[in-house]
Amino acid sequence: MKTARKEKKHIPLIIGNWKMNPATLQKALELAVALKKEIPKKGASIISIAVPSLYTISIAPKVKGTRMNLCVQNVHAEEAGAHTGEIALSMLKDAGVSQTIVGHSERRAEGETDAKVRDKAVATLKKGMVAIVCIGERARDKEGDYFTEVENQLRVVLKGLSPSTFARLVIAYEPVWAIGTGKHATPEDVQEMKLFIQKVITDTVGRAAVSKIRILYGGSVNKENAQELLERGKADGFLIGGSSLNATEFASIIKIADTYAQS
The answer for residues whose C-beta is within 8 angstroms of residue 126's C-beta and 6 or more apart is 165
Backbone torsion region of residue 175, taken as left when φ is above 0, otherwise alpha when ψ lies between -120 and 50, otherwise beta: beta
* Contact by Cβ (8 Å): 56, 97: yes
Q: How far is the CB of 164 from ligand PGA (least distance, A)?
A: 28
Q: How far is the CB of 102 from ligand PGA (least distance, A)?
A: 12
230 three-class SS: helix
- Print the binding letters for residues 115-154 with ligand PGA: x by CB under 6 A, - otherwise: ----------------------------------------
Cis peptide before 52 (omega within 30 of 0): no
Look up 174 and say whether it is catalytic.
yes
Q: How far is the CB of 193 from ligand PGA (least distance, A)?
A: 15
Residue 103 near ligand PGA by CB under 6 A: no
Residue 180 near ligand PGA by CB under 6 A: yes
Sole window of 3-11, 36-44, 140-148, 218-226 interacting with ligand PGA (rule: CB under 6 A): 218-226
Residue 175 near ligand PGA by CB under 6 A: no
- From the candidates 106, 137, 149, 174, which is the catalytic residue? 174
The answer for residues whose C-beta is within 8 angstroms of residue 23's C-beta and 6 or more apart is none
Q: How far is the CB of 82 from ligand PGA (least distance, A)?
A: 31
How many C-beta neighbours within 10 Å does residue 248 have? Answer: 12
Nearer to ligand PGA, 70 or 221 (CB): 221
Among 88, 241, 254, 257, binds ligand PGA (CB under 6 A): 241
Look up 83 and say whether it is catalytic.
no
Residues 50 to 69 in contact with ligand PGA, rule: CB under 6 A: none
Nearer to ligand PGA, 205 or 251 (CB): 251
The answer for residues whose C-beta is within 8 angstroms of residue 196's C-beta and 6 or more apart is 1, 147, 150, 151
Burial of 46 (0-12, 13-18, 19+ CB in 10 A): buried
Among 31, 240, 247, 251, binds ligand PGA (CB under 6 A): 240
- From the candidates 76, 104, 106, 249, which is the catalytic residue? 104
Burial of 179 (0-12, 13-18, 19+ CB in 10 A): buried
Residue 221 near ligand PGA by CB under 6 A: yes
Q: Which residues pair with 133 in a beta bridge?
A: 102, 171
Binding site for ligand PGA (CB under 6 A): 17, 174, 179-180, 218-221, 239-243
Residues identified as active-site: 104, 174
